[in-house]
Amino acid sequence: MDLPSPFISPRPKPPCTPSKPLATLPTCPLRSPPRKTFSPWEHRHVGSTNFNLLSSRSHTIFSLTIESSPCGENNEGEAITLSQLNLIDLAGSESSRAETTGMRRREGSYINKSLLTLGTVISKLTEGKASHIPYRDSKLTRLLQSSLSGHGRISLICTVTPSSSNAEETHNTLKFAHRAKHIEIQAAQNTIIDEKSLIKKYQHEIQFLKEELEQMRQGIVSVQSKETVEVDFVLLKQKLEDGQVKLQSRLEEEEEAKAALLGRIQRLTKLILVSTKAPHTTRFSNRPGPRRRHSFGEEELAYLPYKRRDLISDDENTDLHVNLEGNAETADDSFKEEKKRKKHGLLNWLKIWKRDTRLSALSGTSEKSCGAKSVSTPSTPQAETGNNAESRHFHSLPAQSSPSADLVSVAREVKEIYEDSLLGQETPLVSVKSIDEIDLLREQQEILSGEVALHSSALKRLSQEAARNPQKDQIHVEMERLKDEIKAKKEQIDLLERKIADSFIVKNKLDESGVSLSLTELMTQLNEKSFELEVKTADNHIIQQQLSQKIHECESLQETIGSLKHQLADALELRNLSPQPFSVTKDYHGEPHHDKESAMITNTNEKILLQEQLLCLLFPTIRQAR
Amino acid sequence: MDSKQFDRWSRETNPEPGASITVEWVSVNREISDDVTVSFLDQSSSRYLVDYCYKEDEDNELIYTREVKPHVSAAFEGHNSTVIEHGAGGSEKIHVNQAT
């Protein structure tokens, strides 16, 4: 290596001379001898190494501070500038091969450390991030902080050697240079202020503030205008809100109205459903139907506002209910009527049975009544012959009234007879005797009825003879009536025969020896029947001929009483005179075989005589009347 | 940053006694007008971009006039300025500094 070359002193020409000396070094202008300017180089520490006898073992920093002010008297008030010039000679970056022991090695380590921190600082600055920059890790970086912070101008001169032995160091140097190239620096001028300069600065600040105040006032005006606009917006918002509130209230009202209408529709549909269903329910059960409807109607009244419609609907429901009730009532009535009919049927049957019994009793009573009437006839024949037409009308009227009275009297007589018969039944032997007596009484009654019949027949002949001359048609009518009476008598005879047959059966069982008696009884019954026929025919004539006067009725009643008394007396007498009735019956037995006309013609005289004899014997009072 | 790097090398032979012939293993490409690329023959992958590269023949006065003088004038105008010399040991840093 060559030693340093000889020195060449540069002579820079400053733009102006400084008015004041430097603070750090009491030096004269730059035109002074150059030796003094290079005095710091004397402090340079030098040592020998394997590569270089005079190797620098430390960094060298030459810092020059410059304070300048403008020239001339007029520019006294202006600012003064302050600047700093740093000339740094870094120690050489050494590798580990340089020196391995001794003082030089430690120096090398320190040198490398400072260089490393410088590199890291530069790399951090190039990154541009707001991260921590380790300026204080080494004094070198701390001194250079003001320069490296980006407010000064930097010139980095890197020296390399072409020898291949130092290739590693060369690479490192170039990397350093390449990395430093990316640092961004914004240089700025530094200034120092005096009192006058401060005054000027403050005045400038005052002006600036005034301008700001004016701007603020303008801003306030604009802000006020904005406020007015805001007020208008507020009013509009309030109006909109009020409108919204009103609309909401209207919507709510409409919704309520819709709800009410829907409710009405549902109720009406329910009504329709109920009306469709109601008749079925009412048909099955009549009672609960109307109750449900009434309750439903009440609900309708509670919910629906239109009272008239409700009333109309209620009336319709009530009408339907009434109709249904009417139907139900009709059904009930029909049931009741059926029951009543059933009851009537039973009563009718009972009544019919009772009537049958009464008819049997009437048959007996008719015989007795015939006897009574026959007694009354002989007293009236003369009057009858005089007024046939009138007598006929009168006969019709009393006939209607007389049988009722006769029936009453006959019923009483029958009761008396039965009571007597009951009293008589003390012992079986006595009972048999009483039966025989009863039979005898009956035979006597029949005989009497036969006699009455004869009298009536005689009266008829007389009436016929009298009537033949004036009116023949009436006679025919009477003949027809007689035929009808005869038929009725024949029917009665048949009934009597049946009774006789029954009595015969009973008597046969009781007494076998009584056969002869039964025969006699049969004969008597036959005679009785014949008499009955005659009696009935006479009764018909009597009814036609009777008068409507009360006197005749009283006479007939008296006669009946008399006849009953005589009958009782005759019965007592006949007990002693048993053979007489048999002879009488035999005489009358022969008559029915003969024709009526021939019998009347031939036997009229005989009959009259017999009748007179019988009447004299039985009824002495009649003789006295004649 | 107006930092500028310049390298200075000589064609002198190595002190090694073994070497008989000198070889240039450092090449400088100046095709680009603004920047210069420095690369090595053995390591083609590594290249370094610098502002300018001075040759061995150029004098220190030239370097001063170009690199240092503007900073001095700037300092007098009120700007902070810094000139840093960085290089391996024995790369003639002092010569440049003393020239200033």
B40 lies in the same domain as B71 = no
Residue B93's domain spans which residues? 60-98
How large is the angle between the packed helices A515-545 and A428-468, nearest 10 degrees?
40
Same domain for B42 and B66, yes or no, is no
Q: Which residue has the higher pLDDT, A17 or A492?
A: A492
Joined tokens for residue A50: 């394997």
Q: What is the mean pLDDT of chain A?
A: 60
By the CB < 8 Å criterion, does A98 face chain B? yes
Cβ-defined contact of A51 to B90 (cutoff 8 Å): yes
Whether residue A76 lies inside any domain: the answer is yes
Please count the structural domains in chain A: 1
Q: Bridge-partner residues for A93, per DSSP?
A: B88
Q: Residue A172 and residue A178: Cα distance in Å, rounded? A: 10
- Residue B19 within a domain: yes
Q: Which residue's structure tokens are 């005759």?
A: A570
Helix (H) or strand (E) holding A108: helix A103-127
Q: Is residue B75 domain-resident?
A: yes
Residues of B in contact with A92 (CB under 8 A): 87-91, 93
Model confidence band, residue B11 (pLDDT cutoffs 50, 70, 90):
very low
- A198-225 average pLDDT score: 77
Residues A527-550 have pLDDT tens digits of 877 877 878 777 776 766 665 666
Number of domains in chain B: 2
Give the Cα separation of A404 and A592 in Å (integer). 32
Per-residue pLDDT at A8 exceeds 50:
no
Q: What is the pLDDT of residue A134?
A: 81
**A residues 18-47 near B, CB within 8 Å?**
38, 41
Among B6, B46, B78, the residue with its CB nearest the CB of A157 is: B6
Q: Are B82 and A144 in contact, with CB atoms under 8 Å apart?
A: yes
We report the CATH number of the domain holding residue A139 as: 3.40.850.10
Assigned domain for A130 exists: yes
- Report if residue A128 sits inside a domain: yes
CA distance B55 to chain A (A): 11
pLDDT, position A140: 79
Instruction: State yes or no: pLDDT of A288 exceeds 50.
Output: no
What value does the mean pLDDT take over residues A457-478?
A: 62
**Residue A128 phi, psi dihedral angles, 5° rounding:** 75, 5
Q: How far apart are CA A228 and CA A207, in angstroms?
A: 32
> Can you tell me the mean pLDDT for A305-321?
44
Q: Distance, in angstroms, between A174 CA and closest chain B CA? A: 6
Of A169-183, A364-378, A560-574, B54-68, the one with minimum mean pLDDT is: A364-378
Name residue A200's amino acid.
K
Residue-wise pLDDT for A126-144, tens only, equals 766 566 778 777 877 877 7
Domain assignment of residue A146, yes or no: yes
Lowest mean pLDDT, pick from A52-56, A325-329, A432-436: A325-329
pLDDT of residue A437: 58
The confidence band for A170, taking pLDDT boundaries of 50, 70 and 90, is: confident
Q: Which one has a higher pLDDT value, A491 or A180?
A: A180
Between B42 and A130, residue with greater pLDDT = A130
Element (H, E) at B70: helix B69-77
Across the interface, which of A14, A90, A151 has its CB nearest the CB of B85? A90
Mark yes or no for CB contact A12/B86 under 8 Å.
no
Among the residue ranges A373-377, A578-582, A604-608, the one predicted with the least confidence is A373-377
Tokens 């009643």 sit on residue? A557
Cα dihedral value A614, A616, A617, A618, nearest 10: 80
Domain that holds residue A107: 55-192
Q: Is residue A390 part of a domain?
A: no
> Band of the pLDDT at A191, cuts 50, 70, 90?
low
**pLDDT value at residue A219:** 84
Residue range A611-617: average pLDDT? 55
Q: A174 vs B85: CB contact, 8 Å cut-off?
A: no
Looking only at the bridges linking them, the beta strands covering A80-89 and A191-192 are: antiparallel
Of A405, A392, A394, nearest to A541 by C-alpha is A392
Evaluate whether residue B91 is within a structural domain.
yes
Contact call for A41 and B74, based on CB within 8 A: no
